[in-house]
Amino acid sequence: MTINQAVTAFAGFMVLLSLALAYWVSPYFLLLTAFVGLNLFQSAFTGFCPAARIFRAMGLND
């Protein structure tokens, strides 16, 4: 698995998790969905993604 695949999978998982938590626990978990979306948006322009750095440190390939 490459870093890009891991970041995409992680972002998708976080969106689905936050939607489930918003449905069953509290609508405030939609803020997590917004955070993930904003992070993806800014990384598209800046190239900086904290999750990519973590996955790189874990030893995933570029």
Overall domain count for the chain: 1
Whether 5 shows a pLDDT value over 90: the answer reads yes
- Is the overall model pTM greater than 0.85, yes or no? yes
Alpha helices in 1-62 (DSSP H): 3-24, 30-46, 50-57
**Domain for residue 29, yes or no?**
yes
- Residue 22 tokens read as 């918003």
**Domain for residue 31, yes or no?**
yes
**Domain for residue 62, yes or no?**
no
Categorize the per-residue pLDDT at 2 as very low, low, confident or very high, splitting at 50, 70 and 90: very high
- Residue 10 tokens read as 């992680």
Whether 62 shows a pLDDT value over 90: the answer reads no
- 33 and 19 Cβ atoms separated by less than 8 Å: yes
Under the phi-then-psi rule, with left for phi > 0, alpha for psi from -120 to 50, and beta for the rest, what region is 23? alpha
Give the separation between CA 53 and CA 34, rounded to whole angstroms: 21
* Strand, helix or coil for residue 28: helix
**Domain for residue 23, yes or no?**
yes
What's the pLDDT at 37? Answer: 95
Q: What is the pLDDT of residues 6-58, one digit of tens each?
A: 999 999 999 999 999 999 999 999 999 999 999 999 999 999 999 999 999 99
Range of the domain at 48: 3-57
